[in-house]
Structure 1
Amino acid sequence: MKPTVMLITALSCAASPVLAGGPVVIPADPVVMAPSPPPALDWTGPYAGAQLGWGWASIVESGDPDIDGDGYVGGLHLGYNRDFGSIVAGIEVDYNLANIEFDNGDADATINTLAHLKLRAGFDTGSTLLYLAGGVARAEADGGASGTGPFYGLGIEHRFSPRLSGGAEYLVHSFDDFYSGGINLEVQTLQARLSFHF
């Protein structure tokens, strides 16, 4: 009978905290960690890419109606951005071949190249950059005509990955005395852009 007495005594000791209202330990649920957010994209650094789009232009002559033209504009760009947190600023140069043709009824004229020295500043929303642009542009046309003038515009750029971004840009240009005789040239361009970041 001694083993039976020992078994009953052991069971009584084990059950006594529960019967006496003692603490009952309940296994805790496993802790589930929330996934950490992906690191914010940093726009700081050099980039290079290509752009392609369409241009609209008007030749403004004193006392005469405007002469309009349009055609493709496309080329390459190279730039550098600096990310200050919510603000991104940078500088860029580009060079475009163009085929913006005018027809005034007597003779045809064509803008062949369009280049920019550009400053950009915009708001960083994370993977998307909304920016303003401005600077100095140079255009050249057949017959030796050329001009330098200011431009301004706006754009949007989206980072598909840390290395690749794409977007669109709209610019407005003004060239005074582009052709002899006080003829001014106004050009608007809308281009899609693709950039690789280093």
Structure 2
Amino acid sequence: MKRLALILAAAAGVLPLTLSASDWNGFYVGAQFGAATYGTIWTDINYDWYGHSLNHAKDKILPGAQIGYNRQYDRVVYGVELDYRSGAKRSTRYDNDVYKTDELKSLMTLRLRAGLAADESLLYGTVGAARADVNHDWIEDGDVTDSWYGLDNNRLGLAYGFGLEHRLSKRLSARLEWLHAEIPGAKNRNQDGYQMEISESLDSASLGLNFHF
């Protein structure tokens, strides 16, 4: 967040005060399309398998949609946005007699946005809550009770990032946004009593279009 504050402060110093800003007040809806890296961390709590954490990452294409509301005071723009990104892609790895599957079905965030407007552009930072719909399997070949099936992680996480939005017309704008989401670990116990903890992360760069009312 300190880095984000420095970026916005630098922008305030660079953008001339004489530039007039577009009117960003009001509601908007839009669509987005982006590339993302989805990461999972499996932690063997009871030293059943390896006694440490396994990190795996997979690149994904995530389409999505967003709805939000802006308020503007002079060149300062602030507001709130709700967005949804669809994953729906499974990734399965086989290693040491174990089939490990990670699936990100979707990611939803509710975030505050705040930034500086100049001419037709808006440079902003964003922070808020994230929740992922995920599914995980850890299946040992030939040992049903020492496996984990259909694990989810419904814990509330943190999302933050920054973006640049530019007005194409009175009603239409385009934006480029980077977002990081972090979902804390959830513990799951198998039939043999061993625990595994799974946490999620997502880094995405997306291009979006918004329609302003």
TM over 0.5: yes
Unmatched segments (≥5 aa) in structure 2 = 1-19, 44-51, 136-149, 189-195
Cα drift, residue 182 of structure 1: 2.1
Equivalent residue number for residue 155 of structure 1 = 163
User: Cα deviation per residue 1:65-93 (whole Å; 9 max; x = unaligned)?
Assistant: 31111211112111010111111001011
Q: CA deviation at 1:144?
A: 5.6
1:27 aligns with none
Distance 1:104 1:123 in 2: 45
Give distance in 2, aligned partners of 1:184 and 1:40. 41
1:126 to 90, 97, 119: 119
Aligned to 1:69: 58
- Conserved 8 A contact 1:178-1:185: no
Q: Matched residue pairs, number?
A: 161
Using structure 2 for the length normalisation, give the TM-score.
0.70
Larger Rg: 1
Amino acid at match of 1:184: S
Note if contact 2:167-2:173 (Cα within 8 Å) is conserved in structure 1. yes
Residue 104 of structure 1, CA deviation: 3.1
Which digits, 9 at most, give the CA deviation of each residue in 1:11-70, with x for residues without a partner? xxxxxxxxxxxxxxxxxxxxxxxxxxxx85211011001011122122123313311112
Name the TM-score, length of structure 1 as normaliser.
0.75
> Are 1:116 and 2:105 counterparts?
no
Of the three residues 122, 133, 138, the one matched with 1:140 is 133
> Could you tell me how far apart the structure 2 residues matched to 1:94 and 1:179 are?
27
Please name the residue that 2:211 is paired with. Answer: 196
- Cα separation, 2, equivalents of 1:109 and 1:93: 25
What's the RMSD between the two structures over aligned residues?
1.9
Of 157, 161, 175 in structure 2, the residue corresponding to residue 167 of structure 1 is: 175
What displacement does 1:179 show?
A: 6.0
Q: Which has the higher strand share?
A: 2
The structure, 1 or 2, with the larger RCO (C-alpha pairs under 8 Å, 6+ apart) is 2
Q: For residue 58 of structure 1, what is the amino acid of its counterpart?
A: G
Q: Is the 8 A contact 1:69 1:101 kept in 2?
A: no
Q: Which moved more, 1:183-192 or 1:159-168?
A: 183-192
Higher helix share: 1
Q: Does 1:80 align with 2:87?
A: no
Sequence identity percentage: 32
